[in-house]
Structure 1
Amino acid sequence: MKERTKVKANIFKALGHPTRLWIVEQLADGEKCVCEFVEEVNVDFSTISKHLAVLRHAGVVSMDKRGKQIFYSLKMPCLLSSLDCIDVVLNNQIQHQITLMD
């Protein structure tokens, strides 16, 4: 298996958890502090930090430490167009199911 394919698989693996995928979608609006994720998801700081570490190691997000706060931003904004594509497909499938029920 080629190294490039392994790296791509690692990115998809990092996106394979609902919380991590949600984090990526939240970063579409710009950088966020870890504390913002903790408040929104209602889990402890260490859990969010672990998810962010997985995304960071996969190269999906980058971090910027400012004093005691750490801010994260999307390093791969191209992922957002892929997620938009998935949303279009899901919406079409839902619409198709509704049509079948009528």
Structure 2
Amino acid sequence: MNLELQQFKAEFFKALAHPMRIRILEVLSEGDRTVNEIQSIIGSEGSAVSQQLAILRSKNVVYGSKDGTTVIYSLRDPLVKDLLSVAKRIFDNHLVGTITMLENMRTE
């Protein structure tokens, strides 16, 4: 794998490395939203949402388009939705493994 691709992947995953950014991406996976809509859905301060959106924009994970004075945010690539789904499945696999380990420990 070439260095540029590795660097892209590292920067991309850094952009995802915050729980609020992940939650914003989950919301945007369901459809385009304004800052106020995202704020309302996730129950967070507008400034915090705006800061996290700025990071996601700077890493080209999301983009905003103007509709009058309102900015509507969207996923830049719909495959992000698939990535979040795969991450959830990995989490579920880890959870099943942990539960199995705990059950085995209990029976010993």
TM range (shorter): 0.7 to 0.9
Distance 1:2-1:93 versus aligned 2 partners, 3 A rule: closer
Between structure 1 and structure 2, the one with the greater Rg is: 2
Corresponding residue number in structure 2 for 1:72: 73
Q: How does 1:56-95 map to 2 (within 5 A)?
A: 56-95=57-96
Is the counterpart of residue 6 in structure 1 residue 7 in structure 2? yes
Corresponding residue number in structure 1 for 2:54: 53
| TM-score, length basis structure 1 | 0.85
Q: Give every structure 1 segment of 4 or more consecutive aligned residues whose post-TM-superposition deviation is greater than 6 Å.
A: none
Which residues of structure 2 form unaligned runs of 5+? Answer: 104-108
Q: What's the offset of the Cα at 1:46?
A: 1.9
Taking only the aligned residue pairs, the percentage that are identical comes to 33
**Contact 2:28 2:75 (C-alpha < 8 Å) held by counterparts:** yes
Quote the Cα distance in structure 2 between the aligned partners of 1:18 and 1:36.
18
User: What's the Cα RMSD here?
Assistant: 1.8
**Contact 2:29 2:75 (C-alpha < 8 Å) held by counterparts:** yes
Which residues of structure 1 form unaligned runs of 5+? Answer: none
Q: What's the offset of the Cα at 1:14?
A: 0.8
Corresponding residue number in structure 2 for 1:28: 29
Q: What's the offset of the Cα at 1:58?
A: 0.6
Q: Which range moves more in the overlay, 5-14 or 20-29?
A: 5-14
Which amino acid is the alignment partner of residue 64 of structure 2?
A: M
Is the counterpart of residue 19 in structure 1 residue 20 in structure 2? yes
Q: What's the offset of the Cα at 1:30?
A: 1.3
Corresponding residue number in structure 2 for 1:44: 45
| TM-score, length basis structure 2 | 0.81
Corresponding residue number in structure 1 for 2:99: 98
